[in-house]
Amino acid sequence: MLIGELARRSGVSARMLRHYDMLGLVSPTGRTSGGYREYTVEDLRTLFHVESLRSLGLSLDEVGRALQEPDFTPAELVRDLIRHTRARLAAETELLARLEDVRAASPAVWQDVLRIVALLRAFESDSGSRRQQAVLSQDEDAALPVAALVEAALSEDDPYVAGALRWSLARAGAAALPGLDAGLCSPEPSVRRRAIAALAEIDLPEATVLLRKALDDTDRRARTTAALTLGSRGVGEAVTVLLEMIVDGPSDVEASEVLGRLADRSLPSAEIVRSLRHVLDGTADAPTRLRLTQALAEIPGAAARDALLALTDDADRTIAATASVILTGR
């Protein structure tokens, strides 16, 4: 068959067939009396073999090596192809995610697109100061790539950059909540902590609802951060965790202050005092009982005063003296 018929049967252009001949990949078995290329069925099979190898991503040089070198090992080449393909897919996936972030920000003009792309590139920098500056330099009225900001906030280790990201998410408001809600469900405690810290900056009822879920978090730091925020917002469910913080010790002062604000804003002080006394009466550990006694100093009202008066007769002289001092100050 002549080159035109081979091109029709194979779907490979005559120009490419001439190129294959020049490279020695698919050469015609013979020539006609007029000097035209004449291909056989075996040449057609070789052509299909070349096209199959090219469909795997092999270069023409690699195809020639596969066809001509007797010691060629396809397994090694296939491994290389897999590695290169994975790298290409990763790069394309990253590009797709970046484009989706740009689209999600609904940029109105090209300047917005370029600004968002610059921000996304800055997130990839090893320099914390560059990442921080990129976030802080965003125009207050410009569209924000919220999904990308949430992703960055949930993975950022640098405290200064993390603070800038939380500030930016607070500007985004409700748009940031779905991503942060997903962060609360992460198996990684560090991610959940970052999500809670970001939600604490968003002063919306919907953010408060999400923070309530964190009161049952298995990670102590996560649930205590949520409890301090919720207590400051007047959410009574935080009392149990706040009392746990006083019992444990490291953050007892902050927890006591928030309990006082709760009693002043939303919960009856008698209810808080009752819960506190229940914990105090149930423990024999002297330092823990002292911290609980000191916490009563933050609670306004008659119930706290009566509890302190009762503690002035406590068998532990330190607790009795502390209660007396607090009463004198009140």
Q: Are 189 and 156 in contact (CB under 8 A)?
A: no
Q: Are 124 and 133 in contact (CB under 8 A)?
A: no
Give the pLDDT confidence score for residue 73 in this predicted structure. 64
Separation CA 4–CA 44 (nearest Å): 12
Are 140 and 33 in a shared domain?
no
Other residues' Cβ atoms within 10 Å of the Cβ of residue 126: 6
Instruction: Report if residue 226 sits inside a domain.
Output: no
Task: Please state the domain count of the chain.
Answer: 3
What is the DSSP secondary-structure string of 111-163?
HHHHHHHHHHHHHT-S-HHHHHHHHHTS-TTS---HHHHHHHHTT---HHHHH
Q: How far is CA 290 from the centre of its chain?
A: 41
Give the pLDDT confidence score for residue 32 in this predicted structure. 84
Q: Are 275 and 246 in contact (CB under 8 A)?
A: no
Are 87 and 196 in a shared domain?
yes
Give the pLDDT confidence score for residue 207 in this predicted structure. 96
Residue 59 is part of which domain span? 3-72
Residues of the chain with pLDDT under 70: 70-74, 76-77, 88, 91-92, 94-99, 101-120, 122, 138-144
Are 287 and 299 in a shared domain?
yes
Instruction: Report if residue 224 sits inside a domain.
Output: no
The distance between the two most distant Cα atoms of the chain, rounded to a whole number of Å, is 124
Give the pLDDT confidence score for residue 72 in this predicted structure. 61
Give the length of the chain. 330
Are 150 and 185 in a shared domain?
yes
Handedness of CA 131, 132, 136, 137 (dihedral sign): negative
Are 90 and 209 in a shared domain?
yes
Give me the long-range contacts of 7-10 (CB less than 8 A, separation at least 24).
9/44, 10/44, 10/47, 10/48, 10/51
Are 107 and 191 in a shared domain?
yes
pLDDT digits (tens, 9 = 90+) for 74-89: 676 677 777 777 876 7
